[in-house]
Structure formats: C-alpha cells, structure tokens
C-alpha cells in the first residue's frame, strides 16, 4: 500500500508528537477507501497529503503564496485538490463502463441547476472534516472558502434542479450514466432589488474560471444549420438524402466530474460550448472583410451564451431552437460515436443506450437520431425507428399551455430542413396508425398530429416526444394522471402501456447532510450514518419520538438555524427578525400559479387584524423568487411584496410581523433558508404544479407544509400523515369545474368581509401612496377571471393559517409533527426516483467500480 507519509518529503520535519498523531491517523482512513489506495500518494486522503495538495495548488496552479493569495485563490486550490482526488475514480469508472460494454443512460437536459460543488465533492470523498481541520491549522476557515464558489446557475428552477439531484443520485447508486447539456456562459440572471423592483444583472459565473470543468477540444463536434436537402442516387439503385447545410458551428465539450457519495463511481456531466466552425473561418476570412468575419464568428458563438430565463414558459425564439438543436446534435453524435467504437452495426443500439428527455427541450433528438441513422449510416427507416423508440424516454414537466413548446414550421424549415422532412415522415406513418385505429375520426387525427394547423403551422414538440419514445412519464401521481386524462389523452388511448409516473425526489446529500449539518448529525446519532444513501432508515427516527430529549434537540437545531438566518437577514436586508417567531417560507420562482400573491394578501389580512387589536402569533415571512424578466405581472407582485414589507416592517406599534424578501434566490441561498423554516408554503393552484421539489426539501428539514392538493404535496401529505400537514383549497377537479362556471373574483370578495377589507386597502393606494393605481393591474386580474383562484381560495387559506397559529402554540405537538415530517419523507429521496427510472424505463443496473487494479497512466 502506498503510504502518504512515506512519500512525504517533509516528514523529517515533523515533531515527535506530530509523528505520533500522524501514525495514528495513518491507520484511520475512511472505511470505504481502505484497500483502495490511490495509485499515487500525491492524491492520498491523509491530512498530510491533503495539506500538501492545498499548498501545492496554491503555489503551482495559482502562483500564490500565503501573503498574496486571495480567498478565491484558496478556494480554487482546495477545489483542485478535491478534483485531483476524483481523477483516478473518474478515469477508472469510464474505463470500466467501456471494458464491460455496459448499457449507458443519457440524461438530456437544457438545464442543470447545480449550485456549488465544493462541499458535495469533499463529502463524497469523505475529506470534508479532514480539510476543515487541516485548513483550521493553517488559520483558514473552510466555510469561508466555500462561500467563494459562485453557483453554477444553469437552470431556472425545479426542472434544472431535478436534473442536478438526479446526477448526484445516479452516481451514488453507481449507474453508468451521463448528463448532457449546454455550458451557458451566463446562467440564470442575478436579481438585485432597487426600490422594491427586480433588476436583472448578467450572471458572469465563469469570470474567474471554473476549477471543476475540463475542456476537451479533441472531442469537438460540428453542428449544421440551414441550407437545403438533396436526393442523390446511392449504390443500391435507390437514393439517399444529403443535407447541404449553409452554416456550421462547433460544439466543444466541457466535462465535470459527478462523484457518487463515498463510492468509487465518478460519472461525467458533459456540457457543450459553441465555437465558430473552421470552414466558416476559411470562407469569410478569404472574402477579405476581416472585421466583418470576426463579427460573424462571434454570432455563431452566441448559441451557448445565455440561459433563457423563463420558467414554465415557451418564448418561441429562434436562438432558443438553435440552442436546443445544438446541444442535442452534439450529444447524439457523442452517443453514437461511443456506441460505434465497440459495435459493428446498430441492431443493439436500444439495448445499449437509454436516452431520457428532460421535458421537450431536447425532443429534437428523436429526429436527429433518425437523421444520423438513416442519412449517415444508411439504415432502413423501420430499423432506425425501432432503435429510436427503444432508446428514448420522455418526461413531461407541465400541463400549463403557455409552457408547451410549439415551433413555427417556417422556422423549422429554414433552420433544420432535413429534420422537418423527417418529422413529416414520422407524422405520416403515425397518423396512418391512428386512422387505422379510428377510421371515422378526423378530429382525433388533427388533435394528435405532430403538426398543428392554423394560420401559422407549428410543430408540436410534446407529440414528437411521445411518438418517438417507449416511455412517457409525469413527475407526481396527480400530474401523471392528468397527463393521461387531459393533456395526452388521445395518446394514452392508443398506447396506455407507454405511460407511467415517476414522482420527483431530492438528494439528501445536499438537502440535509450538507445544508443542515446539525440536524444531519442528530439523525446520524439516532439511526446511524446509512440514512445518507438508504433513505428508508429515516423512519427509524420515529422510535425516538417519545424521547423528550430528542425532541428538544430537534428544537435546538431549528432554533440555531433560525438564529443564523436571522443574522443573514439583519446583515443583508437590515431587517431585525425574532428567531422565536414562526419562520414562514415561500421560496420558488415567481409565477402567478405558485400564488405568492395569495400569501401576500394574507399578510395584509394579518396586518389589519393587528390594527384591530387582535392578538396574532409573531411571524416572519421569508420570500425568495426570481421573476422572468419579461413577465410583467410577476414583477409587479415582487414590488407588491416589497411594498407590504415596507409598511409592515416599518410599523413601530406592531412588532409581531416581519416580511423579508431575500434577493437573488438560488441554490446556495435555498441551502441557508431551508434549515431555518418552520412553515413551508406550497400553495399553487391545484392542478398546476407538476410536482414541486422545494416542498420535499423543506419537509425533510422539519418544516410543516401549508399546501394545496397539488403535485407531490398530495403524496407528501399521505407520507407524513394528514395530521402533520396543513391542507386547504380547491382540488384540481374543482378548479376545472369553476373555470367552466366563469367564476369571478368579485364573488369571493362579496362573501368574505376580511378579504374585502384587504382588497379595499390595496385599492386605496395604502401600499403605494406615491402612485395609488400602482397595483391596480393585480387587482383587475383578481377581481375578474381570478384565473389562479387566489380569491376563491383566500378564505380557506386564511382559516388554514389560523390552524397553523394554534398548532404552533402547542410547542410539544408542533415539534412532534416536525420530527414526523423528517422521519417520513424518505421516499422523496431522488435515489428512490432514479432507481425507478433505472428499473422501469432505462433497464440499467449499478456497475461496481474496482479501484484495486491500478490503470496504466501512460
Ligand atoms: C428546489 C429549487 C427550486 C424548485 O422549487 P419549487 O418550490 O419546487 O418550485 C427552484 N429553485 C431552486 C434554487 C431550488 O433549489
């Protein structure tokens, strides 16, 4: 066994006492590394090796010494030290997949909302504690270095965060999988608040470099756009189609290691960056206009420049379609190349590859794989189609009509002429099948067509995704049922066996172990450390519920987390909040269907109650939410929350209420807020939130949910028990029924005096004296169609919040409910979700990675 101490040239400088300490530590590496020494002691896990690695990277990778190093230099030195320790596992993992020719899983997603990687990687390697000590000895604070890392914000919200949780679970379970996406130069915008309004700033997350990624220009892939298609005779007397593109860009892959938690598996997230193509350079530069050529070169590189900042909304912009095709074409080329290296033909493609589409953003992959198989590899249509359908699975994420992708046929024709031909042919064959099943039903044929007719024709991406996949899943039980019953009903009639549910989950490594170390330590003390990868073990906490000491320690942890968050709120917002008050949290993208406005209306009601002299339980309302830059109503709601906060926080006579809108909601901020939450607001209009995952993170950290029967709330309530969940509001079916009845918000106002007072106060300009009509657009929508049933649900919501107050007053009972939430949400681990995908859709099994036989390094 290579001993890090023997290899350390500084060893002779140790004092005898140090030597004794080190000799002890030498025999106490983490259990899972025992017998698996790194082939090179340079990457050993011993504290001496760790300290040496950090010092070396600071010196040789950053060219700094202790006086000149900035905190960011130190963060990078630490990150590179951690990355070095992933490399053997990483190369060995990839080599094992190749050698054993295992079936691969590919997760195609336009978004990966990763957040920070340092703590996750240190914990995966089990060197977090060692580095905390080692850095402490150098007078450095690990937590401070952690704060230097910018969030990788390559996503909008739940969909992108789900992809990130899945990467963590896939690696931890040991599944041979890859993530494929776009390396946006600018991730989700930074939100700053000016005078209560959201202002967007570019997110320059790569400005100082990214120590986790490795650029692989040798694996660059050309991607074509535009031009026309041509039929040319082939050798067999038939013809083949050639796509004469007019434009080409190059996709350069950047690989990021995704480490399994304390396992040997290290998978790859491959993100594509756009570069101008070489042929492009050649032509334009030869044409003589150098400056113009450079400008044009820039134009092709904009493809991977910026993430579209819309959550659950499709803007139909050409650049967005370019982004989608760009990363899909690169990824399919990569997948096919990897397969081709070891297989003589494509007859086993679907047997060896599972490709999951995270929503329809990558759905063009179905046409792209068909194009590659037919045009480049000359497969007959039927053979190509069989492999394609066998490989693809499609995950639907929304029922909202404004979020369903539809691309104008004219745009498709101009940008992807060959793909449009293929889509037409898929459609022709598919509609034949529909007509055979329903010869008399032309309406059905029109409804199911991949092409939406109308004054402008559109390609329906969801229909392409369903027709080209062997599996279609929703992300919570209710959502999957609504997909079958409403959104894709005709498809369910035709192919019921394709439809299934995969309720979302979150990784417990990030959302408990890393973000709430005190609670994680308490859980470990009670049920042992295995809960981190075996979620079923959380249940064993229930055995300790009658132990008052355990309950008090849960309370103490929550209290400490609230004190810590209160400090942040005081520092950043200059608002003093009382850690004894209820911390009531609503953190998620700002969207009307998520109903932050309902929450705000209720705060106004509480304010009025206080004015009337009613006693209310002190509460701190904490918001975090970005609005899409073009979503006017959502931005006005942000301003309204700030206007309410200004009045409520500034009222000297009443001190029980506080409203804190924390700017720039993102993964690293969620990690601070969630451990401190008492109440989790999951109050979407029923039938509109596909699943939610914030709901799971908050329950896992002991917050009690105030929620509607929507998305995964329903399953969370079933799991934790209805007595440990605050339910209110219309059901999905009732919401649909009200729509039919042309419900108006005014009706609800007339029936509820408290609501009337709230609306009148806002209408009077009380919250916007400088411009009384400021919030009129909000009121107009509420009092009219009340599309999101905010006024329809107000009374039930308000009554439910009174129950919350009463329940909080019974401290012991509340703590018990909180503990039961923690103990019973195990099934919302993304490990469970990913295992279900692997078993039901992908046909993947874990692969053991043996580090024992060291690979040749040359
Ligand atoms: C979990 C998470 C989300 C999703 O939250 P929902 O409440 O499910 O919408 C969005 N953004 C961030 C930063 C998250 O961590």
Q: What percent of the chain has pLDDT over 90?
A: 89
Q: Does residue 219 have an active-site annotation?
A: no
How confident is the model at residue 432, as a pLDDT? Answer: 98
Instruction: For residue 586, report the distance from its CA to the centre of ligand 1, in Å.
Output: 10
pLDDT band at 42 (very low <50, low <70, confident <90, very high): confident
Find the residues whose C-beta lies inside 6 A of ligand 1.
157-158, 161, 588, 666-667, 670, 692-694, 697
Kindly report the pTM of this predicted structure.
0.95
360 alpha carbon – ligand 1 mean position (Å):
20
Do 371 and 419 touch, CB atoms closer than 8 A? yes
Residue nearest to atom 10 of ligand 1 (CA): 157
Q: What is the CATH number of domain 309-502?
A: 3.40.50.2000
Using CB atoms within 10 Å of the CB of residue 113, give its burial: 0 to 12 exposed, 13 to 18 middle, 19+ buried: buried
Is residue 697 among the annotated active site residues? yes
**Minimal CA–CA distance to 490: which of 426, 443, 440?**
443
Residue of 158, 398, 625 best suited for mutating to test ligand 1, as the one with most atoms within 8 Å of CB = 158
Q: How far apart are CA 151 and CA 144, in angstroms?
A: 15
CA–CA distance, 621 with 599 (Å, rounded to integer): 9
- Catalytic-residue membership of 693: yes
Closest residue CA from atom 6 of ligand 1: 694
Spacing, Cα 156 to ligand 1 middle (Å): 9
Sorted by where each begins, the domain ranges of the chain are 309-502, 515-832
What is the mean predicted confidence (pLDDT) over 22-34? 40
Identify the pLDDT of residue 282. 60
Residues 6+ apart with CB under 8 A from 419: 325, 364, 367, 368, 371, 412
266-276 and 247-259 as β-strands: parallel, antiparallel, unpaired? antiparallel
- What share of the chain in percent tops pLDDT 70? 94
Closest approach atom of ligand 1 to CA 667: 13
Atom of ligand 1 at shortest range from CA of 158: 4
What pLDDT was estimated at residue 857? 47
| Atom 9, ligand 1: residue with shortest CA distance | 588
Determine the residue of 694, 707, 711, 716 to mutate for testing ligand 1's pocket, defined as the one with the most ligand atoms within 8 A of the Cβ atom.
694
Distance 157 CA to ligand 1 centre (A): 5
Give the whole-angstrom CA distance, residue 389 versus residue 379.
15
Stretch 487-500: mean pLDDT, rounded? 98
594 CA: nearest ligand 1 atom: 9
Q: Which atom of ligand 1 lies closest to the CA of 696?
A: 8
pLDDT in tens, 43-81: 899 999 999 999 999 999 999 998 999 999 999 999 999
Over residues 340-362, mean pLDDT: 98
**Pairwise CA distance, residues 619 & 846, whole Å:** 47
Query: What is the CATH class of 515-832?
Result: alpha beta
309-502 against 515-832: fold identical: yes
**Is 594 an annotated catalytic residue?**
yes
Neighbour count for residue 291 (Cβ, 10 Å): 7
Distance in Å, CA 162 to ligand 1 centroid: 9
Q: Which atom of ligand 1 is nearest to the CA of 697?
A: 1
Q: Is the pLDDT of residue 853 over 90?
A: no
Q: Which secondary structure element, helix H or strand E, spans residue 714, and what is its range?
A: helix 713-720
Residue 448 has pLDDT above 70, yes or no: yes
567 classed as catalytic: no
**What pLDDT does residue 858 have?**
42
Annotated catalytic residue within 62, 270, 397, 635: 397
């Amino acid at each position: 066994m290579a001993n890090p101490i023997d290899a350390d040239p500084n060893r002779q400088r140790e004092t005898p006492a140090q030597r004794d300490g080190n000799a002890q530590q030498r025999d106490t590496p983490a259990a899972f590394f025992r017998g698996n020494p790194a082939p090179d002691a340079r990457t050993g896990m011993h504290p001496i090796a760790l300290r040496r690695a950090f010092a070396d990277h600071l010196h040789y990778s950053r060219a700094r010494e202790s006086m000149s190093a900035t905190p960011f230099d130190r963060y990078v030195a630490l990150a590179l030290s951690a990355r070095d320790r992933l490399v053997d596992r990483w190369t060995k993992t990839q080599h094992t997949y190749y050698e054993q020719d295992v079936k691969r899983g590919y997760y195609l997603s336009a978004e990966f909302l990763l957040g920070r990687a340092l703590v996750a990687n240190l914990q995966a390697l089990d060197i977090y504690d060692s580095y905390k000590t080692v850095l402490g000895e150098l007078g450095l604070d690990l937590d401070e270095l952690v704060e230097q890392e910018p969030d990788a914000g390559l996503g909008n919200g739940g969909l992108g965060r789900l992809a990130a949780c899945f990467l963590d679970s896939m690696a931890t379970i040991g599944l041979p999988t890859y993530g494929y996406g776009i390396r946006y130069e600018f991730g989700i915008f930074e939100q700053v608040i000016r005078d209560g309004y959201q202002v967007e700033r570019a997110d320059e997350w790569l400005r100082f470099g990214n120590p986790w990624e490795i650029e692989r220009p040798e694996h660059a892939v050309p991607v074509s756009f535009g031009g026309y298609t041509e039929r040319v005779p082939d050798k067999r007397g038939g013809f083949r189609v050639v796509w004469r593109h007019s434009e080409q860009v190059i996709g350069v892959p950047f690989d990021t290691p995704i480490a399994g938690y304390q396992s040997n598996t290290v998978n790859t997230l491959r993100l594509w960056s756009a570069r101008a193509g070489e042929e492009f350079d050649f032509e334009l530069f030869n044409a003589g206009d150098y400056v113009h050529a450079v400008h044009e070169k820039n134009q092709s590189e904009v493809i991977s420049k910026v993430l579209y900042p819309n959550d659950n909304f499709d803007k139909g912009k050409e650049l967005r379609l370019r982004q989608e095709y760009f990363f899909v074409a690169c990824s399919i080329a990569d997948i096919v190349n990897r397969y081709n290296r070891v297989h003589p033909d494509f007859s086993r493609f679907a047997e060896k590859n599972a490709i999951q589409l995270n929503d329809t953003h990558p759905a063009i992959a179905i046409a792209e794989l068909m194009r590659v198989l037919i045009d480049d590899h000359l497969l007959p249509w039927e053979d190509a189609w069989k492999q394609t359908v066998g490989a693809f699975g499609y995950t639907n994420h929304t029922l909202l009509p404004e979020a369903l992708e539809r691309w104008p046929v004219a745009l498709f024709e101009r940008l992807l002429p060959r793909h449009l031909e293929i889509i037409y042919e898929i459609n022709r064959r598919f509609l034949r099948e529909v007509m055979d099943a329903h010869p008399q039903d032309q309406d059905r044929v029109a409804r199911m067509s991949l092409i939406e007719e109308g004054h402008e024709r559109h390609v329906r991406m969801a229909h392409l995704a369903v027709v080209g996949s062997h599996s279609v899943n929703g992300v919570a039980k209710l959502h999957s049922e609504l997909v079958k019953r409403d959104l894709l009903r005709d498809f369910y009639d035709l192919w019921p066996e394709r439809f299934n549910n995969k309720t979302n989950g979150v990784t417990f490594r990030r959302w408990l172990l890393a973000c709430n170390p005190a609670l994680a330590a308490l859980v470990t003390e009670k049920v042992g450390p295995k809960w981190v990868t075996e979620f079923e073990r959380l249940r064993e906490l229930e055995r300790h519920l009658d132990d008052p000491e355990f309950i008090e320690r849960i309370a103490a942890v929550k209290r400490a987390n609230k004190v810590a968050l209160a400090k942040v709120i005081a520092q950043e917002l200059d608002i003093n909040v009382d850690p004894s008050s209820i911390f009531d949290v609503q953190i998620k993208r700002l969207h009307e269907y998520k109903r932050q406005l309902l929450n705000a209306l209720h705060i106004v009601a509480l304010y009025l109650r206080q004015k009337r002299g009613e006693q209310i339980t002190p509460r701190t309302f904490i918001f975090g939410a970005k609005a899409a830059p073009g979503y006017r109503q959502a931005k006005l709601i942000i301003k309204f929350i700030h206007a309410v906060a200004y009045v409520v926080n500034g009222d000297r006579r009443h001190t029980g209420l506080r409203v804190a809108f924390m700017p720039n909601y993102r993964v690293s901020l969620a990690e601070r807020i969630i451990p401190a939450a008492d109440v989790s607001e999951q109050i979407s209009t029923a039938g509109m939130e596909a699943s939610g995952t914030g709901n799971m993170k908050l329950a896992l950290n002991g917050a009690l949910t105030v929620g509607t029967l929507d998305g995964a709330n329903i399953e969370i309530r079933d799991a934790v028990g209805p007595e440990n969940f605050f339910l209110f509001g219309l059901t999905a079916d009732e919401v649909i029924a009200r729509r039919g009845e042309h419900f108006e918000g005014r009706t609800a106002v007339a029936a509820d005096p408290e609501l009337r007072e709230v609306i009148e106060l806002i209408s009077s300009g009380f919250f916007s004296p400088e411009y009384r009509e400021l919030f009129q657009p909000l009121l107009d929508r509420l009092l009219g169609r009340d599309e999101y049933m905010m006024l329809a649900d107000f009374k039930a919501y308000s009554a439910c919040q009174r129950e919350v107050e009463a329940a909080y007053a019974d401290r012991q009972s509340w703590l018990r409910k909180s503990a039961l939430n923690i103990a019973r949400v195990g099934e919302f681990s993304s490990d469970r979700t990913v295992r279900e995908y692997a078993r039901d859709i992908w046909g993947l099994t874990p692969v053991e990675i043996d580090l024992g036989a060291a690979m040749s390094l040359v």
